[in-house]
């Protein structure tokens, strides 16, 4: 019998109110968030800039929630140490941005961090087959990387389901993370497909329609429905 893992929530910190960050962190912690998803963008792998290692270190000093660092950068090897040395962090990168992704995974682990890979909507699962035994997390990008507020790429739902089957068939210990347009309508669909972690951004948690605590409760209520 396969025991379904509880679905965890990772607030997307690029969507947070930076002017009230410490207060919002208390609300997220009290509201039941599991990780803090931090999108790192270099203006090259994606045409946007967001957060950096100093922001991550400030978060780690201010919150006990583990950081879920998503590197949307070219040549990730050059930046691994800055992020993988943050206590408790999981560091994920896009494998096509690394010359030798398996070596990049080893580099992340060498600094004591857990490692993951992030899969662009255009990338087939076959491209990450050889990496699955070496990761703890696969971030399935359900939007094109780079910006908050985008709409779901519908084919990525089937990708979550297919990856879930591969993980079960190969008896791997890998969490599937859905990242992008995790909206009120998409949450049940992503969970039904097999998502274990939801990156909650402007489409739900930070939608501004209600307070953070109410939105966290609404997400957890959605997840409590089987």
Q: How far is the CB of 34 from ligand DX5 (least distance, A)?
A: 15
Q: Is 179 a catalytic residue?
A: yes
Residues 144 and 111: their CA atoms lie apart, in Å, by: 29
From the list Zn ion, ligand DX5, none, which binds 187 (C-beta under 5 to 8 Å, kind-based)?
none
Q: Quick one: 63 or 183, whose CB is closer to ligand DX5?
A: 183
Q: Quick one: 42 or 179, whose CB is closer to Zn ion?
A: 179
Interacting stretch for ligand DX5, rule CB under 6 A, among 53-61, 90-98, 174-182, 187-195? 174-182
Q: Which of 68, 120, 175, 179 is catalytic?
A: 179
Residue 217 has a CB neighbour count (10 Å cut-off) of 14
From the list ligand DX5, Zn ion, none, which binds 181 (C-beta under 5 to 8 Å, kind-based)?
ligand DX5
* Residue where the block lists tokens 């957060």: 51
From the list ligand DX5, Zn ion, none, which binds 159 (C-beta under 5 to 8 Å, kind-based)?
none
Q: Applying CB under 6 A, which of residues 182, 191, 197, 198 lies at the interface with ligand DX5?
A: 182
* Residue where the block lists tokens 């207060």: 23
φ/ψ region of 186 (left if φ > 0, alpha if ψ in -120 to 50, else beta) reads alpha
Binding mask 66-95 for ligand DX5 (x = CB under 6 A): ----x-------------------------
Cα Rg of the chain (Å, integer): 16
From the list ligand DX5, Zn ion, none, which binds 124 (C-beta under 5 to 8 Å, kind-based)?
none
Per the CB < 8 A criterion, the answer to whether 37 and 59 are in contact is no
Q: Is 24 a catalytic residue?
A: no
Helices 186-193 and 155-169 cross at an angle (nearest 10°) of 30
From the list ligand DX5, Zn ion, none, which binds 101 (C-beta under 5 to 8 Å, kind-based)?
none
- Cite the DSSP H helix spans in the chain: 21-31, 53-62, 80-84, 101-110, 155-169, 186-193, 212-224
3-state secondary structure 169-219: HCCCCCEEEEECCCCCCHHHHHHHHCCCEEEECCCCCCCCCCCHHHHHHHH
Q: Applying CB under 6 A, which of residues 11, 66, 180, 194 lies at the interface with ligand DX5?
A: 180
Q: What tokens does 26 get? A: 């208390």
Q: Which of 24, 39, 68, 120 is catalytic?
A: 39
Q: How far is the CB of 174 from ligand DX5 (least distance, A)?
A: 19
**Which residues make up the interface to ligand DX5 (CB under 6 A)?**
12, 14-15, 37, 39, 70, 143, 145-150, 179-182, 199, 201-203
Residues catalogued as catalytic:
39, 179
């Amino acid at each position: 019998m396969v025991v379904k893992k509880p679905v965890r929530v990772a607030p997307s910190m690029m969507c947070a109110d930076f002017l009230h960050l410490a207060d919002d962190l208390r609300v997220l912690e009290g509201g039941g968030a599991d990780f803090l998803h931090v999108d790192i963008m270099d203006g090259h792998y994606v045409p946007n800039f967001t957060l950096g290692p100093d922001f991550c270190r400030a978060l780690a000093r201010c919150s006990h929630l583990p950081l879920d660092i998503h590197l949307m950068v070219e040549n990730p090897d050059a930046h691994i140490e800055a992020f993988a040395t943050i206590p408790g962090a999981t560091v994920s990168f896009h494998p096509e941005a690394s010359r030798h992704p398996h070596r990049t995974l080893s580099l992340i682990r060498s600094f004591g961090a857990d490692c993951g890979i992030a899969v662009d909507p255009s990338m087939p699962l076959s491209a990450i087959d050889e990496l699955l035994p070496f990761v703890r997390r696969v971030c399935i990008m359900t939007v094109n990387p780079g910006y908050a507020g985008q709409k779901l790429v519908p084919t990525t739902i089937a990708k979550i389901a297919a990856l879930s089957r591969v993980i079960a068939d190969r008896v791997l210990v890998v969490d599937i993370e859905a990242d992008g347009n995790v909206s009120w309508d998409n949450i049940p669909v992503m969970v039904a497909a097999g998502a274990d972690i939801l990156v909650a951004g402007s489409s739900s948690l930070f939608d501004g329609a209600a307070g953070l605590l109410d939105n966290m409760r609404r997400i957890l209520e959605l997840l409590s429905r089987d």
